[in-house]
Amino acid sequence: MSTAPTPTKEQLSDYCHNLLRPGNTNCAGCGMSMGLQWLDEALGEDRPTLVIPACCGIVTAGAFPTSAYGVPTVAATFASAPAVATGVSVVYRLNNEDRPTVCWTGDGGTYDIGVATLSAAAERNEDMIYVCYDNEIYGNTGGQRSSATPEGVVTSTTEKGKAERKKDMMAIMAGHRIPYAATLSLAHREDFLRKVRRARSLRGFKFFLILSPCPTGWKSEAEDSVDLIRLAVRSGLFPVYEVFGGVRYRVNVQPDGTPVEEYMKRQRRYTKGKTDAAVLRRFIEDQWHYLNGMVRAFPAGPND
């Protein structure tokens, strides 16, 4: 017997209106949950249709009675979210319905198996917002490496730490010359909301990358999640920036030189394999060498 009070009709209506309903099965400290709530806030009354491939995001949609999405949700196959979203968004346009179509995908579905449909939808400049919540691991199957996993990280298929660097998905998407691509920080709410609203105002393909903490996979504490993202931004590991038309760059938050060790030491995925911080420092250095070069050569304009 439930002892919870019966919700009023008004409360029930609020509850149903949430994009991510309370009572879902997501882990505490899940970055994806935060991202969904901020997406909801940014879009306001503008109700999106979600297209979600195999990932923790579709587990969120999961089994009754904990099914958690308060907006229309299409579960795509693993490799195909942008292709499904193409069908959805094109028909909305045909029917003169101005509704946002949002692909909500993990890094496996974005960086690995889904990269062909992602690239093709971007090339066609389909009208959708594509969000990758990147937790740098296959979380749904218990924590295997993906091509978004940083060098040195221990996963169930990289026992001695991953040998390869993380793929630069932002550069790949900018290379498609899409109207808008940006990274979203879960420690910078105003920046996050502004960028999503900006994307909503643009026609064509918009790409977002969220570094999304996963306490289960990162072997971190749930209450550290937002702090970890702040440290990732400050250390320069996760740059917060936007790219207009694929060629005009703007950095939104400058790193402040916080040592990346501060970020690493709070996650056993790094400490377990005794990952050398120099590996990440070199990555950060190379990343900013490239990014600063782009900003200098191709700065965003006043109208961007």
Partner 1 sequence: MVSGKQDGVLTGAFYLDGDHACAEGAIAAGCNFVAGYPITPSTEIVERLAQRFPQAGGTFIQMEDEIASSIAIQGAVWGGAKAMTVSSGPGISLMMEHIGLAAMAEVPCVIVNVQRGGPSTGLPTLPAQADMMQARWGSHGDYEIIALCPNSPQECFDLVIRAFNLSEQYRLPVLFMMDEVVGHMTEKVVIPPRETLTIVPRRYTQLSPAEYLPFRAGPDLVPDIVKAGDGYRFHVTGLTHDERGYPVMNAGCQDGLVRRLVDKVRKNADKIQQFDADQLEGADVVVISYGITSRVTMRSVQEARARGVKVGHLRLIVVWPFPETLIRKLATQVRGLVVPEINLGQMVLEVERCAGGHCKVVPVPHAGGAVHDPALITEAIVEAAR
What does the binding site for partner 1 look like in residue numbers (CB under 8 A)?
54, 75, 77-79, 108, 112-113, 115, 138, 141-142, 144-145, 147, 156-160
How far apart, in Å, are the Cα atoms of 189 and each of 5, 39, 42, 115, 210? 33, 10, 10, 28, 12
User: Which is nearer to partner 1, 1 or 163 (by Cβ)?
Assistant: 163
User: Which is nearer to partner 1, 54 or 279 (by Cβ)?
Assistant: 54
DSSP 61-124: H-STTS--BSS-EEE--TT-HHHHHHHHHHHHHHTT----EEEEEEHIIIIITTHHHHHHHHHT
User: Which is nearer to partner 1, 61 or 226 (by Cβ)?
Assistant: 61
User: Which is nearer to partner 1, 133 or 263 (by Cβ)?
Assistant: 133
Residue 108: CB minimum distance to partner 1, A: 8
User: Which is nearer to partner 1, 38 or 69 (by Cβ)?
Assistant: 69
- The Cα 61–Cα 56 span in angstroms is 9
Residue 210: strand pairing partners? 133, 184
- Phi, psi of 3, rounded to the nearest 5 degrees: -100, 0
Taken in order 129, 135, 139, 143, the sign of the CA dihedral is positive
Residue 160: CB minimum distance to partner 1, A: 8
Residue 182: CB minimum distance to partner 1, A: 25
Residue 248: strand pairing partners? 244
Residue 171: CB minimum distance to partner 1, A: 18
- The Cα 229–Cα 129 span in angstroms is 22
User: Which is nearer to partner 1, 156 or 254 (by Cβ)?
Assistant: 156
Token pair for residue 252?
Answer: 């939104």
**Amino acid (one-letter) located at 57:** G
Residue 143: CB minimum distance to partner 1, A: 9
Residue 156: CB minimum distance to partner 1, A: 5
- The Cα 80–Cα 82 span in angstroms is 6
